Amino acid sequence: MSSTWLVTGATSGFGRLVTERALATGSHVIAVGRRKDRLQELVELAPQGGLTAVELDLTDAGAERVLADTVRAAGCLDVLVNNAGYGLFGAIENIDAREARAVLDTNVLANLAVLRATLPALRLAQGRVVQTSSLIGQFAWPSSGLYAASKGAVELISEALAHEVAPTGVKVTIIEPGTFGTEFGANLRVVPPTDAYTPTVGKFLTDFSALPPEAFGDPYAVADAVMSVVALEEPPLRLAVGADAVELIRASLRSRLEELDRWESLSLKGEVRSA
């Protein structure tokens, strides 16, 4: 049976690949993106009537209304892939308020606007919500503070949402990709570190830029993962994609557990005293 999908950030990267995959299954896709030329490419790729192109900046004040009207016009919505995002890397101190606001507006507030616009239809369909996060939605590297904070917010928003919509039959999955070869790296904003952060942020950025091509995974793996979880009756809340994501998230969780255990006596010291 065909279904209706809404994909944000549909004109490049994971969003483009998921859109192509969904079209290949015979689904109707509402493809949301900012680039008119890329949207036109998708229209030409899709079967006639198979794609609704929405040229939209999700941070615009009227974006939520536009999306809600589009979903109503489509008549239903079965799958949301909330994928649009903006990359910002640099030392915390070196990122000014304007740039910090831009990454949070795009990655958090726009994500929420998309959810508000689509959840009424998704509830009716007992649909699926796929939220694109990152392996650094679970931890942070030097330089990733603002971006990781935005993806960490998406993680916790999505976890709460999963609890809230569970009685309605809507399922939520957070996709946590590792390092993949998409246009993301070419389009992200990097704030050069000042001298104080050269040993940490500067070194990390230099080392990362020197990674060989084989260090970057095949982005089709992420699109395939999205298609797989959408088809599951009981999908996972979180799915790390890529060997590096699995390895590094596992190491981060172990480190946090070890720290919790190491400092448990201090954590409980107040309780012992009050007793």
Answer whether residue 190 shows pLDDT above 60. yes
Contact by Cβ (8 Å): 155, 197: no
Q: What is residue 185's predicted lDDT score, i.e. its pLDDT?
A: 59
Q: Is the pLDDT of residue 270 over 80?
A: no
**How far is the C-alpha of 265 from the C-alpha of 271, rounded, in Å?**
10
Annotated catalytic residues are 147
All structural domains of the chain with their residue ranges: 4-242
* pTM of the full structure: 0.92
pLDDT, position 186: 60
CATH hierarchy code of domain 4-242: 3.40.50.720
Residue pLDDT, tens place only, 227-247: 999 999 999 999 999 999 999
- 50-89 burial string, b = 16+ CB within 10 Å, else e? bbbbbebebbeeebbebbbebbeeeeebbbbbbbbbbbbb
d(CA 2, CA 76): 11
Average pLDDT of every residue of the chain? 93
Residue 107 is predicted with a pLDDT of 96
Helix 13-24 × helix 220-231 angle, to 10°:
50
pLDDT tens-digit series, residues 76-114: 999 999 999 989 999 999 999 999 999 999 999 999 999
Which of 30-34, 57-61, 266-270 is predicted with the least confidence, judged by mean pLDDT?
Answer: 266-270
User: How many whole angstroms separate alpha carbon 12 and alpha carbon 182?
Assistant: 8
pLDDT at 93: 97
